[in-house]
Amino acid sequence: MFSLPLGPTAQLRPLEVWHADMFAAHLDRAREHIRPWVGPTFVTDSVHGARSTLARYANSAATDGARLYGIWHDGQLVGGVMFVSFSAAAGVCEIGCWLEPAAEGRGLVTRAASALLDWALRERGLNRAEWRCRADNVRSSAVAQRLGMHLEGTLRGAWLNGGVFHDKQVWALLRSEHPTRNEQPSR
């Protein structure tokens, strides 16, 4: 297992099936805060549901697809980043994130997403990384901007959540635009 430091007391680590109890407890703290911004299958309300979500991502990672990583702060799971989709064959991935309220404002998501961008674009050689978020999710859009992504457009009424269709922004960064390691965002 790897652990990538995100600061003096924070780490990025794979989020695996054996973390189901911890993931469920984290979702109990984060559920209502993240519910408007993430898909309903992600916001589970039981250890069984958490285990199913983690197993779905583990199976996808085993076939070089989507992956899930946790952000730990002071030893507690407080959020994470993910490859919502990952296709080496197509050269494209989508990165997403979530964070419980107590961990906001520390730059954890930006540093974690930057690590995923670096791995996908530099190590794996993908050509394009996307970031999709609700158009009214100001915090998520700000992360995409800090990562150096470009807003390519808004998909009107493209995401159904809570019985309402929401607009979705599409941000992207090409490998040729990705900064070198020593130019990466600090926050």
DSSP 126-175: -SEEEEEEETT-HHHHHHHHHTT-EEEEEEEEEEEETTEEEEEEEEEEEG
Domain carrying residue 35:
4-183
Q: Which CATH number is 10's domain given?
A: 3.40.630.30
The pLDDT profile of the chain, 187 residues, written as one tens digit per residue, is: 689 999 999 999 999 999 999 999 999 888 888 877 887 777 788 899 999 999 999 999 999 999 999 999 999 999 999 999 999 999 999 999 999 999 999 999 999 999 999 999 999 999 999 999 999 999 999 999 999 999 999 999 999 988 999 999 999 999 999 976 544 444 4
Q: What is the pTM of this model?
A: 0.91
Residue 120, CB half-sphere, CA atoms under 13 Å: how many? 34
- Collapsing DSSP to helix, strand or coil, 107 comes out as coil
Domain count, the chain: 1
